[in-house]
Amino acid sequence: MPKKERKRLQVVISDEQDALLTRTAYELSSPERLISKSEVVRLAIEKIARELGEGENLEQYRSILDTVPSDDA
């Protein structure tokens, strides 16, 4: 999928979330290809959107979001 030029979102994440991103990028990487944390975020966005479009995991995602404090005020 070609990248579009857009203003990047500046999202504040916790140290724990950053560590999860780093670990996931490391696990997905191979000697032939290093995966960036940005690629992990894009993959997660696509996966969540696809699942929601198929009616999967809606309540699970809502439950997760209800337990995470939002700083988008």
Q: 51 lies in which domain range? A: 37-68
Is residue 50 situated within a structural domain? yes
Whether the pTM exceeds 0.95: the reply is no
Q: What is the CA angle 35-68-15, rounded to 5?
A: 45
Structural domain total, the chain: 1
Is residue 46 situated within a structural domain? yes
H helix runs in the chain, sequence order: 15-28, 37-53, 58-67
Q: 55 φ, ψ to 5°?
A: 75, 20
Using CA atoms, how far apart are residues 4 and 23, in angstroms rounded to an integer? 27
pLDDT digit string, tens, across residues 24-65: 999 999 999 999 999 999 999 999 999 998 888 888 888 988
